[in-house]
Amino acid sequence: MAGMALNSETSDTKKRASSLINDPKVRGIFYQVLTLALLVLFVWTVTQNTIHNLQKANIASGFGFLQGRAGFDIGQSLIAYTSDSTYGRALLVGILNTLQVAVLGIITASIIGFIVGIARLSQNWLIAKLAQVYVEFFRNIPPLLVILFWYKGVIAVLPQARESLNLPFQSYLNNRGLFVPKPIFGDGAWAIAVAFLIGIVATVFVARWAKKRQMLTGKPFHTVWTGLALIIGLPILTFLALGAPITFDFPVAGRFNLTGGSVLGPEFISLYLALSFYTASFIAEIVRSGIKAVPKGQTEAANALGLRSNAITRLIVLPQALRIIIPPLTSQYLNLTKNSSLAVACGFADIYAIGGTMLNQTGQAVEIVALFLVVYLSISITTAIFMNWFNAKMALVER
C-alpha cells in the first residue's frame, strides 16, 4: 500500500514536470527568452568585433569629431553656416534640408495626388484618361530618373544667367535656379507673424463654435470664408497699421550671376518636383481606391435624404474614404522622405550628401552611418506617429 502510494507520487511529479515542458505558455516564454538572449549576444558581438577591428586598424572612433571644424562650404542652407562651423552644425544643415524637401514634397504630392485621384473618377473621358496617363507614366519609372529628368532635361536647358527669363514680381528663372525677391523684415515685423498665428487660433475656435451651433440649431455657418478672412486679413491689417515694415531685396544681375534676393537652386527644385510628381502618382491611386471603396448605397442614401452633391462628397464620401486612404498614405509619406536621399544624384545638400562628405573628410564611417540611421528613423517614426494619431481621429467612432 505504502509502496504504491510512493509510486503514484513519483509518477505524479514526473507528470507535472513533463506537463511543464509541454505547457505551451512555458515553452513560449522559454523560446522568447532564448531569442532575446541570442539577440543581445548578437548585438554585443557585432559591437565588440567592430570596436576591436577599428582599434586594430588604427582608425579613430567616437563622436568627438562632431565638435571639429567642418572646413567645407554648403550651397544650400536654411541656417547660418560657414566653413568655420562645426561638423555638428553641418549635419544640422543637412537634416533641415532633408526636412524642408520632405515636408514641401509631402504637401505638394498630397495636393497633386488628391486632384489626380479624383480626376481619374471624373465623368469627363479626357480628364479621366489624362489622369490615368499621368499615374501610369510616373509610377512606372524609377524616382532617380524623374530627378534626372527635371535636373538635366528641364532645368539645365533653361537660359543661361545672362539671358534669364523674366517672371512677374521681378523674379527670374535661369539654369542657376529661380530668383525671387527676398523680404527684409523691418521693426515690428514680428507683429505680422503674431497676427497670422492669432488668425489660425481664432479660426479653430470659430470652427468649433460653428460646429456646435450647427449640431444644436442646424444653422450652418461660413467657416471657410471667416477663417480665410481671419488668417489672411489680420496679418494684412497689421502690416498696414504698422506702416508697411517689410521691404524687398530684388535680384539684380551681377558679374557671373544674379545677386541679391532669394534663390531656389536647380538642385532643390528638381528634387522637390521629382519627389512630388513621383509620389503623387501613388497617392492618386490610393485616393481613387479609397473613394471607390465607399459603398454606392451611401451616396444613394445621401441622395435620398436630399443632400447636394457637394455636401455628399464632403460629408459622406470623403470621411469614409479617408479611413481607407490614411494608412497607405502614411507609407507613401515615409517613402518620399526616404527617397529624398536620392538628392545625392543632383547635388542637393541633404543629410545623406553632407553626411557622405563628412564621412570622407573624417573617415568615421561607423559613426556617420549610425547617425544616418538615427536621423531617418526619427523622421519616419515622427511621421508615422502623427499619421497614426490622424488615423485614430478619423476612425469610425462607435457610439
Partner 1 sequence: MKKTILSAAIGAAALGLASAASAATLDDVKAKGVVTCGVSAGIPGFSNPDDKGEWTGIDVDYCRGIAAAVFGDPTKAKFVALSSKDRFPALQSGEVDVLTRNTTWTISRDTSLGFNFRTVNYYDGQGFIVKKSLNVKSALELSGAAVCVQTGTTTELNLADYFKSNNLQYNPVVFEKEADATTAYDSGRCDVYTTDQSGLYAIRLKMKNPDENMVLPEVISKEPLGPAVRQGDDKWFDIVSWVHYAMVNAEELGITSKNVDELKTSGGPDVKRMLGSEEGSKIGTDLGLTNDWAYNIVKLVGNYGEVFDRTVGPNTPLKIERGLNALWTKGGLQYAPPIR
Given the rule CB under 8 A, which of 49-57, 128-136, 205-213, 323-331 is the region that contacts partner 1?
49-57
185 neighbors 246 (Cβ within 8 angstroms)? yes
Cell of residue 126, nine digits: 479626357
Kindly state whether residue 363 participates in binding partner 1, applying the rule CB under 8 A. yes
User: What does the CA dihedral 264, 270, 274, 276 come to, rounded to 10 degrees?
Assistant: 0
Site for partner 1 (CB under 8 A): which residue of 181, 245, 328, 356?
356
Binding residues for partner 1 restricted to 234-273, rule: CB under 8 A: 254-257, 259, 265-267
Cell of residue 205, nine digits: 475656435
Q: Left if phi > 0, otherwise alpha if psi is -120 to 50, otherwise beta: which for 115?
A: alpha
To partner 1, the closest distance from the beta carbon of 354 in angstroms equals 9
Cell of residue 88, nine digits: 555638428
Site for partner 1 (CB under 8 A): which residue of 11, 17, 31, 298?
31
Nearer to partner 1, 160 or 388 (CB): 160
Applying CB under 8 A, the site for partner 1 has a residue count of 52
Nearer to partner 1, 131 or 358 (CB): 358
To partner 1, the closest distance from the beta carbon of 38 in angstroms equals 4
Site for partner 1 (CB under 8 A): which residue of 20, 29, 33, 41?
41
Number of H helices, E strands in the chain: 14, 8
Cell of residue 303, nine digits: 441622395
Question: Which 8-state DSSP code applies to residue 162?
Answer: G
The radius of gyration of the chain's CA atoms, rounded to the nearest angstrom, is 30
**By rule CB under 8 A, what string of x and - marks binding of each residue 130-169 to partner 1?**
----------------------x---x---xx--------
Strand partners, 167: 171
Nearer to partner 1, 60 or 121 (CB): 60
List all residues 6 or more positions away from 302 whose beta carbon is below 8 Å from its beta carbon: 311, 312, 315, 316
Binding residues for partner 1 restricted to 319-348, rule: CB under 8 A: 344-345, 347
Kindly state whether residue 294 participates in binding partner 1, applying the rule CB under 8 A. no
**By rule CB under 8 A, what string of x and - marks binding of each residue 173-202 to partner 1?**
--xx--------------------------
Given the rule CB under 8 A, which of 33-41, 90-98, 139-147, 241-249 is the region that contacts partner 1?
33-41
* DSSP for 321-335, written as a single string: HHHHHHHHHHHHHHH
Site for partner 1 (CB under 8 A): which residue of 226, 335, 361, 391?
361
To partner 1, the closest distance from the beta carbon of 53 in angstroms equals 4
279 neighbors 147 (Cβ within 8 angstroms)? no
Q: How far apart are CA 293 and CA 64, in angstroms?
A: 54
270 neighbors 130 (Cβ within 8 angstroms)? no
Cell of residue 35, nine digits: 531569442
To partner 1, the closest distance from the beta carbon of 256 in angstroms equals 5
Q: How far apart are CA 197 and CA 201, in angstroms?
A: 6
* DSSP for 195-221, written as a single string: HHHHHHHHHHHHHHHHHHHHHHH----
Amino acid at 322: L
Q: What is the largest CA-CA distance in the chain?
A: 113
Nearer to partner 1, 155 or 195 (CB): 155
To partner 1, the closest distance from the beta carbon of 169 in angstroms equals 23
Helix (H) / strand (E) containing 258:
strand 258-259
Nearer to partner 1, 30 or 137 (CB): 30
Nearer to partner 1, 189 or 344 (CB): 344
Specify the pairing of strand 177-180 against strand 246-249. Answer: unpaired
**By rule CB under 8 A, what string of x and - marks binding of each residue 51-90 to partner 1?**
--x--xxxxx----------xxxxx------xxx------
Site for partner 1 (CB under 8 A): which residue of 11, 35, 303, 378?
35
To partner 1, the closest distance from the beta carbon of 239 in angstroms equals 32
Nearer to partner 1, 32 or 382 (CB): 32
Binding positions for partner 1, rule: CB under 8 A: 31-32, 34-35, 38-39, 41-42, 45-46, 49, 53, 56-60, 71-75, 82-84, 152, 156, 160-161, 175-176, 254-257, 259, 265-267, 344-345, 347, 349, 353, 356-357, 359-363, 365
